A and B are shown apart, each in its own frame.
Chain A
């Protein structure tokens, strides 16, 4: 019923059904499922380049998933992750372009990370404050802010941020670019050409750090109390308005760190629509993973694989099939309890205990 528990059996059922749906769609298109599946696999995990691309995509998805998870902990659904990502990217691009050409990575990397973090967090503030002070639903204001963000980014680019005769910011100086993994040594040479970069490590740290904070810190546990029951949390004396603002703000701020991967690690500049949709994929990965840390890594890799694989099957079958698969997977997992009960019989007794009616 919540995003908290995911039994392996349930996930397995969902995955099997998704495979079945994939087969049916591919057959309906007049292709052979096994051939398409082989193509999907060889385009991703089949070559070092493919692996590199999957890891590159998984980096942003994992960071966005942590952003979503921070809000989910407090019972909030931060659909505005995508807007925070867009605004953070343009902020990092704009500030990065202003850095001197010979800037040192020791200055540029942390500075731009802070810029992305702050920009993403600030963009989440309107939704956060509206929710905490006036009870406005964060999904509605989040959707609106996403629209505003994409228009805002376009406006800024047109109004002078973009380089002459282009639709992107000026290129970042060399020192502001994140090192690609294939430059790190002989063992990574196979990844050549793929965009995977050291932001991958940042993503890993962000995932692990939040898992620790959520589980072990007083703040993380109090967020869980707010998420479990805001009225109980309030009556217990928790500062719920403050916690809601912090949760959504931190969620947006962490989302802003995706600019490290997409702007500093990949493009070297910011443009409209760069990393669009990553926020939603991140939300999906967070929902799929529940509260599991390993699950989050796995979900990020899965969605990255599907996204990259979509490109390699596009010649034979529209890559939209991947979107259908992802959507089905989310539907199946979120409606999973009733579904798996229908298929597998009643669930093993959970720690939830007697089903007291509410």
Chain B
């Protein structure tokens, strides 16, 4: 029981972190990024490559992966997505366009990774040392991944609520028209939020690669789970990401332990539908627009 809860918390912490990035991209920049999970896998491969090829500790690799992924996402928004933002007359139109564009991007990124690494599953052994937590044995890498996810999530929360630039990002999410009236450059701030989301999912990719196996095609699972968590928690709500992410992780681990590991996806969607039936705008979402 305790082991299932611990596994669930670690997994849920990862889901929450992944979802926070997506909620930044979707809630602020209004880009529904279907290639989101591909960037997670990309970062996982980068971490694998740095570890096996250069013997670089994945935690040190973060210092390299985070800025690079931030830069790539920023350029992606500026070069590929800004034209869509410019021509979109409404937010809804932008959503449709961005879904189509990022759906295409998903295949491109996936194709590149398939060519480079093939379709096999990858993993590497880093800090796979057993440690005892509240009487249960857990791998150290999972524990560290969870701890870092907490640190990153907290840092993001404090940045968004305590700084001027963070408050500007939230202002764009709340009302992009009014944001212009307080001298916020909405396009620039959206690019920043999109890039921040990219950096978050990349850091999650590195952390996950430390204890899960992954392949060039497993990104879509993470995109889907991030989407479920974001919608379940309420779009644009960080606390919602945390609660929904943990709920998802816990339910998966409990079902896998006590019923059947094959049912994890089923319980994902059962939870998702259950929440939406009771609260259509998500746990912390407000019905608006």
Co-assembled chains A and B: no
A-to-B contact residues, CB < 8 Å: none
